[in-house]
Every structure is written in C-alpha cells, then in structure tokens.
Amino acid sequence: MEEFAYRDGQLCCEETPLEAVAESWGTPTYVYSRRAILGTYEGYERALAGLPHLVCYAVKANGNLALLSLLAGAGAGADVVSGGELFRALRAGFDPQRIVFAGVGKTREEIREALKADVLCLNVESAAELAVVDEVARAEGVRARVAIRVNPDIDPQTHPYIATGLRTSKFGIAHDEALDIYRAAARLGGIEVVGVHMHIGSQLLKVSPIADALERVAELVQALRGEGFALRYVDIGGGLGIRYKDEAPPSHEEYVRALRRTLEALGVTVILEPGRSIVGNAGALLTRVLYRKRTGGRQFVVVDAAMNDLIRPSLYNAYHEILPVRKAAGPRETVDVVGPVCESGDFLAKERELPVLPEGALLALMSAGAYGFAMASNYNARPRPAEVLVAGERSALVRRRESYEDLLAGELLADDL
C-alpha cells in the first residue's frame, strides 16, 4: 500500500489528498492508484523474464474500463469469465489474441461471441461443455482453440469460498479423468487442443500448493505429448494473495522462482491470470461517518458506505484496514463500523480499535481495489459508488456515481404493461 500514505497528516493516494477526492466527488467513492496498478503488473513481467509468457489480468477482480484500458495499453492480456467481461475487455482495447475465456457455465451465445472475436483460447471445464463448444464451432465454420481445465485436487489453503482446486469443487475436470477428456477432444472436428489450464484458488499465501499442482499438470502434459498432442500453452491461473492485515504473501519473484524449473522443462508459453494481486492494494473505499451510536454495550460508528458497496466483510468475514483520512492522535476506542443497510450483516469492521471518530470524519477502507466495486449491488435501492483514478497530483472520475434514475433503468410501471 505504499501508494497510500500520510503526507503532512493527510492520507494521500500517490500525491493526491483523499480529502480533496471526497470534496470533488463525494462518498462513498472508490479510489485507485495508477502507479500501483502498473507497478504490480510490471512486477510480473520482470519476474517472468526469460520465459515465454502472457499475463492475462483477471477482469472479474475489477472491470472498470479505465483500469482495463490502462493494463491493455501496458501489454497485458485479459482473463474473462462471461460474455459481459469479454465485451468490456474488447471495448477497453485488449487484443483478442491475448484474451482467454474461462468459467464453468458458458452459454452457447457466450461461446459464439468468443469464437467470433477469435479469442486466444477457451478454457473448458467439463465433457458436456466440450461437446457444446464443438457444436457451436462447427456451426460457425471454425475450430475452437481450447485448453482443458484440470482439477489437481490440491488444497490451496485459503478461504473455502475461493478454493477451486479440490476434487469437491465445481471447477475443472478431475486429474485422473483428464487424459480421457483430451482423447475425446482430439476426435471432435470443431476442436483444436492447444493447452492445459489450472487454477486452484484465490488469496494464496504459499507457493507450495501452486508448485504441487503444477507438478501434477506437468505429468499430464508429458503424457499428452506422448500421445501426440502438440500443446502450446500451460495456463497456471492466478490467485496470488495480497496483504490485508498481517499476511506475508510471496513476492512475484518468489512465486515465479518456485515454478520456473518446471515451466522451462515443459517448453510452453505460460499464461498467468492474476487479478487481486494487481489491483487489490491499488484501491481504497472512501466513506464518511454519519452517526455515533452506543447500544447494548457496543459503540457503533455508522458510515455512508455499506455491504452493498463492499460485501467482502459480510460475505467472507474479510478484514480491511481502516484509516482516518486525517491522521488522528489521542484516545482510541473499540467500535463496530457499520453501514445504513437494513441487515445485521451490514458491517465493514467489528470490534476494531480506532481513534475516536467524530461525525463527518472521512475514513479509507484499504486494500479494496479487488472484488470491491466488482461485487457491489443496489441492495436497499442504493446507487453504486463513484470510482476515481489517481495519477500523481491528478485525479479523474472514471465512473460517475449512479443516480436514482439509473436504479429504474429498464423497468416498467404496471400501468405501462
């Protein structure tokens, strides 16, 4: 979070005071650092030097067009998991030949859109999906480039909601069934097999599970080559974790170093799909204190951001550091930071020790660049927040705050039927 720091007592994003951002665009507002986003992407590029590779940013982490176009301009590819994400990636300027399309439930229309766009690869997750891709490709008069997603049955040692590499998850094809699926794919006229895909989970804090999974995939690659498959890509997914509180995730260099020997031996182009590790620590959510309330022996700080703006604390019991925008000295207290939504689950922090915060104080919820706005909703008919991109001393609104009229878009009154 080095791009978010106090300067003369004011919390800044790069060289821009967050107080100035709030004055210009109100709260709640997501704020992103251009320097941090490009810095983490370039960190992957440096770590992968000497290996044929493609870093495909996972659009699901944060799909703001400004952020996407920034990464596309820097040379990144894109990992998409829906037709909507594909639409966004193309609109943002990503080269289709640098886009991979993953996801366990692609529709025929989404597959058709991907084939018409001529994306680099479809990552296929089941025998049933493989048959549909073949059907759609033959109807379009093309051959679909595919990689089969293999589930290596490795414990990623992360939150169960974001663990995807265990045999019991909905993702991928069991490692011991993969060879038969590849043989079936080779018999389909609409399929061109080009690679192997894996992704074992998100917010990974150890390299060893990824290395173990890659070893299992490497054995499969060698077996496939022995049967004549000319594989060009091994997609090792994403999932490298970030620091939210006191985690110590591996650096990009440590991550790649643990995998390099195996990847070099395979002689393929390696595809990575990082998302959180690129944008997570590059963003913060600005919010303002509305009220202070004491009841039931607990001190509540009610703010204008809520679970519809940042659902991670409610959904995962996730921790986000909370910093006063104006550095505060003096007494501290233990509080619950909660929002206005009519749910007891609407909290941003529980039993958090913070400075005594008066009404009107500005707060920043840190490490909110990934799965913050991307998972925001209109629950309680709340407009989604604004998004701002900062570059040095400059800042720009890259998504306006939704209006009440936006909430009604596409709806009809009963009298209009």
Identity at 91, one-letter amino acid code: R
Going by C-alpha positions, the residue among 36, 18, 20, 15 that lies closest to residue 363 is 18
Query: Is there a catalytic annotation at residue 342?
Result: yes
With contact defined as beta carbons under 8 Å apart, do 149 and 102 qualify?
yes
Quick one: CA dihedral 308, 316, 323, 276, positive or negative?
A: negative
**144-151 and 121-124 strand pairing:** parallel
For residues 45 and 386, give the distance between their C-alpha atoms in angstroms, rounded to a whole number. Answer: 31
Catalytic pick among 13, 56, 121, 342: 342
Scored b (16 or more CB within 10 A) or e, 118-135 reads: ebbbbbbbbeebbbebbe
Tokens, residue 276? 């959180």
Other CB atoms closer than 10 Å to residue 290's CB: what's the count?
15
Going by C-alpha positions, the residue among 118, 120, 164 that lies closest to residue 141 is 118
Catalytic residues, by residue number, are 342
